[in-house]
Chains A and B, each alone.
Chain A
Amino acid sequence: MVAAIAALVWLYGNYNPGSHLLFPKCPFFVLTGLECPGCGSQRAIHHLLHLNIGQALQSNMLLVLSIPYLALGFWFEFAGTRGSPKAERIRTQMYGYRAIWVVLTVIVIFWVVRNLVQLS
């Protein structure tokens, strides 16, 4: 697992997915010419590994902004809340039922808006 992550970090750090054939293209983009919510995430990772936040945001803003959220989510999932009522409350508010629908809505809005921006 650690080796796989290290390999990916090396790969995405050293090669820009935007300019190498080696990296798979998004099938949705290939088929429709429209960007899906995940398009640009490989490039975003590459730019992030180079601490190039601006370009990472341009590649996939949603991915960059969701990293803290996902990291905290992983933390809760693996470390749990350790019986802390405060952590439990945060978890319910940020990863509970309502939050999940907010996440879905954000993804769909991002999907639509990024294509509108692209087309205009």
Chain B
Amino acid sequence: MKHYFYHDGTSKQGPFTFDELKEKGIKRDTQVWYHPMPDWKPAGELEEFADLFGQTPPEMKKEVKGTATPPPPSEPKPPMPKNWLVESILATLFCCLPFGIVGIIYAAKVDSSYRSGNYEGARKASKDAGTWTKLSFFLGLGTVLVYLILIAAGVATSIFAF
């Protein structure tokens, strides 16, 4: 009669009879020893466990980092949405500093989202960047118009005042 020991990773357990051991839920890679084995061996390498493991599939081998990478997803890459960078820089320099800067930040977001594969996020950020840039454009245009109207009014007033 063999007396089996197994190692649960922290301490050795046993001795057990073969039937007792089968109840312990050992796996293929559980280290097992019995007299007169020179050293511990994974249960999966021992003949008498072949029946026990016959029905359970082998453990998935863990990938060694750096040697095998999963194939990239083959879904088609949509083109990067417009990031409005140039327009928002122009907006910053010519009219509406705060809106232009918000536009630039969204431009960065378009790029980072797109690069990390978040195409939906990139599309959204692109829309936001566009909104801010256009907003600053029309705000600038509006300011100029109001300004010109005020000047015209001022000129008119001064003409009629004299």
- A residues with a Cβ closer than 8 A to B are 21-22, 24, 27-28, 36-38, 41-42, 60, 62-63, 66, 70, 73-74, 77, 95-97, 100-101, 103-104, 107
CB-defined contacts of A62 to chain B, threshold 8 Å: 93
- Chain B's closest residue to A72 (CB) is B86
8 additional A-B pairs beyond A22-B151, A70-B86, beta carbons within 8 Å, are: A27-B143, A38-B95, A41-B94, A63-B93, A73-B85, A73-B89, A74-B86, A104-B105
As a 0/1 sequence over residues 88 to 105 of chain B, the CB contacts with chain A under 8 angstroms (1 = contact) are 011011110100110011
B110-124 contacts to A, CB under 8 A, are 111-112, 115
Say if the beta carbon of B52 comes within 8 Å of chain A: no
Question: Complex Cα distance A38/B100, Å?
Answer: 10
B148 at the interface (CB under 8 A from A): yes
B108 at the interface (CB under 8 A from A): yes
Which residue from A36, A60, A103 sits with its C-beta under 8 Å from B104?
A: A103
CA distance A62 to B92 in the complex (A): 11
B18 within 8 A of A: no
Residue pair B151, A100 in contact (C-beta under 8 Å)? no
- Complex Cα distance, B125 from A85, in Å, reads 26
Q: Is B46 located at the chain interface by the 8 A CB criterion?
A: no
* Interchain CA distance A95-B89 in the complex, whole Å: 12
Residues on B with beta carbons closer than 8 Å to the beta carbon of A37: 92-93, 97
Q: Kindly state whether residue B82 has any CB partner on chain A within 8 Å.
A: yes
Q: Which residues of B contact A28 (CB under 8 A)?
A: 97
CB neighbours of B83 from chain A (8 A): 95, 100
Residues of B close to A42: CB separation below 8 A: 94
**Distance to closest chain A CB from B86 (angstroms):** 4
Q: Are A107 and B101 in contact (CB under 8 A)?
A: yes
Give A61 Cβ to nearest chain B Cβ, in Å. Answer: 11
| A89 → chain B closest CB, angstroms | 14
- CB pair A100–B111 under 8 Å, yes or no, is yes
User: Which residues from chain A contact B94 at a C-beta distance below 8 Å?
Assistant: 38, 41-42
B147 at the interface (CB under 8 A from A): yes
Judge if B107 is at the interface, Cβ distance under 8 Å. Answer: yes
Cα–Cα distance between A51 and B69 once the two chains are bound (Å):
56
User: How far is B100's CA from A100's CA once the two chains are assembled, in angstroms?
Assistant: 13
Task: Check A100/B93 contact, CB under 8 A, given A24-B144, A24-B147, A95-B85.
Answer: no
Complex CA distance for A59 and B89, rounded to whole angstroms: 17
